[in-house]
Chains A and B, each alone.
Chain A
Amino acid sequence: MEFCLYITDLKLLEDLGGLFQPLDWQDMPAALKSTVFDNPNAADYIGHLIAVERLASLGLDETAVTRLYFGQEFCEHLVPEPKGVMQALFIARQMGWDFTYVTGNAVDSTLERIAANIEALVAAHGDADSFEVVINDWGVLRRLRQEYPAIKPVLGRLLTKQKRLGRFPEHMPTPNMEEIDTDTDTILRNQMRAWQALNLTVRSWRRFLHRQGIERIDLDMVPQGADLMPDAWGFAFGAYYPWSYLTAARNCPTAGLVDPVRRHVPLDAPCPRPCRRGNANLANMAHDPAPIIQRGTVAVTLNDAFAQPYLTGGVPLDRLVFEPFVPL
């Protein structure tokens, strides 16, 4: 399986070995541990430590990395400048890694910034078919296909529309049985079947995607699993670990610390990006059985509890994308 490292901040590459360094945090004295980690915003770091340990047990460390994912899926204000993308590409080449530029959903101004980054990559690469672009917005795909048809698009995890049941890693909540005659167990079974399936089961849609140049699809690890055909319908599939997407907004609780309006609605003005210094998690997330964190605009869940089948071949993946921290 191809092992990819996904970062949004190039500083993380300054100590690549440290990024995969385990830490024996569970045996810390209780008072110290709680002082450091008993804060919902620390879930990002707890998830990191859990993931590093799990990956080490699978023999996956910095020496196993063969591809760099770099970019921004979840916040338009954090889309890197062309200079940063070029630096990421340069580092990837130095390391002998392949390169994937990651994009998110895009309003018009964001699309122009993404296009500038792709233009810079093409200028640097010389051949447009030597790197990939993860697509999470159909408008980005259209621009890519029009201007650089040789670049390989990867269908991103926001466009696969998987239901994210990460709030319920152990069992599903009882459904609302209002006016329903069927028994609860049957309803739950039918719901699970629906949520395991993707619209990729629709042949005309698969053909359409193939015509759009899609050969690879990124998934999130979700507790209900993903019902993929053994031949994956001719697509290649990858999955992200350890953070699975739940939902995201253009408004942002962390930006709202600086300007309360930003907590509720997006603004046209640039964001001061307080998320680079801290984070405002949201109340009541800590009680969920799987750690959930609101990091800037995005809510994610730690998927370690249900990652096993994805990591050990139970789901036909050929790529694992390691997120050392919530990719914001």
Chain B
Amino acid sequence: MKIALGLDRSDSPETIRELIALGADEFFAGYVPVEWYNRYGWEVSINRRENGPVYQFTRFQDLAEAAEAVHANGGRFHLTFNAHDYDLERLLFVRDILRDVDTLEPDGYIVADPALMLEMRNWGIERPLHLSTGAGCFSPETVRWYHDGFEFKRVVIPRKLTLGEIGRFVPALADLNLEFEVMIIGPRCFYNDEYCFTLHTGNLPNFCNLLAGAPLAQGRFPATWKSDITAICADPENQVRPGSALDTFLKQIAWDPPELGRARTEPCGGAIRGMHPDLAAKFYMHCGLCAIAHLRRAGVQILKVPVRGSTWAKKDYVRLVRTVADHPNPTPQFCRELLNAPEYCTQPESCYYAVPDA
């Protein structure tokens, strides 16, 4: 299976070379030129990453260098123009941007708005299209609706299909010669992103972030907290593992009084097996590693790691997903041991998919 990883402007050509060496096969990125964000800000996004510049490429030269680095190292590079819709004013703006970026010879465009798909062909853009999750392909019939009117090469399957549904989805479209991609780890919206039309901004909590769960209790910081944090920041790439400075710190401040109904740990530094669940949750957010064997059997070819904006963490994601994807029999037990965060793995909110045998 191939891994498709999100890039942003923090990813240098050298980083891209390393990511390919670790097992990433494809990359996708968004490009928001200065003319766009000086007109619409970040909230009216070209590509549904509304939170600010760190999730994007904002300079054409940086984008060109990234595309060149991907191609020079044998990878594939896709650009995303997957807003739910573009009105005429924005569509004409997108046309001008597409004329620029098409000179970089990307391997395809990720799109969601059928109006854009119509116009791209009118503009003479012939590169392969991928149907974004935003296209809302919840059933094979919906894919066929798009196929009746448009040419495309790949379908990104919605995050909220069950493994049983994906197991029927892919074979039902075998005659169309399409590629199928799923999200596998990282942020998975509480709501269906295909039909989520709320305002997203880097300035306010998103609507879904308002949905607080159980009250969260926390112990006081240890006396060494400043030096602890200094140690954490000195080595960010090695914090997402048991025994790291950050993991140790979190275990020291863990405090879950039973009356809060969340007594999964022992108070104040009690024994938490493996990695602290909050560290795993913060980093992996939602994890679908246990589902990879099912997805492979279903015929899914591409595993998407949608982590634009998390440059420091990407290598760990790629290592992890590549290890599971290459394993001949990645059982849930194998995946859980690999993650080594047993308490995270027992929480239903951690999972990208409900895996029957997990």
Chain A residues near B (Cβ < 8 Å): 105-111, 137-143, 158, 161-165, 167-168, 173-182, 187, 190-191, 193-195, 197-199, 201-202, 204-205, 208, 245-251, 260-261, 263-268, 282-285, 294, 299
Which bucket holds chain B's interface residue count?
35 or more
B44 and A139 contacting across the interface, CB-CB below 8 Å? no
CB distance from B198 to the nearest CB of A (A): 5
Bound together, the chains give a CA A110 to CA B168 distance in angstroms of 13
Which of B243-251, B295-303, B308-316, B345-353 lies at the binding interface?
Answer: B345-353
Query: Distance in Å from the Cβ of A208 to the closest Cβ of chain B?
Result: 6
Which B residues form the contact surface with A (CB < 8 A)? 37-44, 51-53, 58, 84-91, 113-115, 118-119, 122, 136-146, 148-149, 160-165, 168-169, 172, 190-192, 194-199, 201-204, 207-208, 210-213, 348-349, 351-354
Q: Which residues of B contact A201 (CB under 8 A)?
A: 87-89
The reply to whether A176 and B202 form a contact with Cβ atoms under 8 Å apart is yes
Closest 10 CB pairs of A and B: A197-B87, A139-B141, A139-B142, A205-B115, A176-B202, A201-B88, A199-B85, A161-B85, A142-B145, A138-B145
Known contacts being A187-B41, A202-B115, A248-B195, is A108 close to B169, with CB within 8 Å? yes
* Contact between chains at B195 and A105 (CB < 8 Å): yes
Instruction: List the B side residues contacting A261 at CB < 8 Å.
Output: 348, 354
The listed residue with most A CB atoms (<10 A of its CB), out of B41, B119, B213, is B41
Inter-chain contacts of A174 with B (CB < 8 A): 203
Q: How far is the CA of A142 from the CA of B136 in the complex (A)?
A: 14
Determine the chain A residues whose CB is within 8 A of the CB of B145 once the complex forms: 138-139, 141-142
Inter-subunit contact B114/A182 (CB<8 Å) = no
Q: Is the CB of A187 within 8 A of B40?
A: yes
Are A142 and B160 in touch, CB under 8 angstroms? no
Given A161-B197, A175-B42, A204-B119, 15 extra CB contacts under 8 A: A106-B138, A108-B168, A110-B139, A138-B136, A142-B141, A142-B148, A176-B201, A198-B85, A199-B86, A202-B91, A204-B118, A247-B197, A265-B160, A265-B352, A299-B207
- Give 28 pairs: A residue, B residue, CB < 8 Å, sorted on A: A107-B161, A137-B136, A137-B138, A137-B142, A138-B136, A164-B197, A173-B199, A178-B52, A179-B53, A182-B41, A187-B40, A190-B39, A197-B87, A201-B87, A202-B115, A204-B119, A205-B114, A208-B115, A245-B197, A248-B196, A249-B192, A250-B192, A263-B348, A263-B349, A264-B348, A265-B162, A265-B353, A283-B212
Q: Which residues of A contact B194 (CB under 8 A)?
A: 105
| B195: min CB distance to chain A, Å | 5
Q: Which residues of B contact A106 (CB under 8 A)?
A: 138-139, 141-142
Q: For residue A117, give the distance in angstroms from its CB to the closest CB of chain B.
A: 15
Residues of chain A contacted by B351 (CB below 8 angstroms): 264-265
Chain A positions within 8 Å of B86 at CB level: 199, 202
- Expressed in whole angstroms, the Cα–Cα distance for A293 and B353 within the complex equals 26
Give the one of B58, B86, B353 with max A CB within 10 A: B86
| A256: min CB distance to chain B, Å | 9
Instruction: Return chain A residues, CB-CB under 8 Å to B91.
Output: 199, 202
Complex: A138 Cα to B145 Cα, angstroms: 6
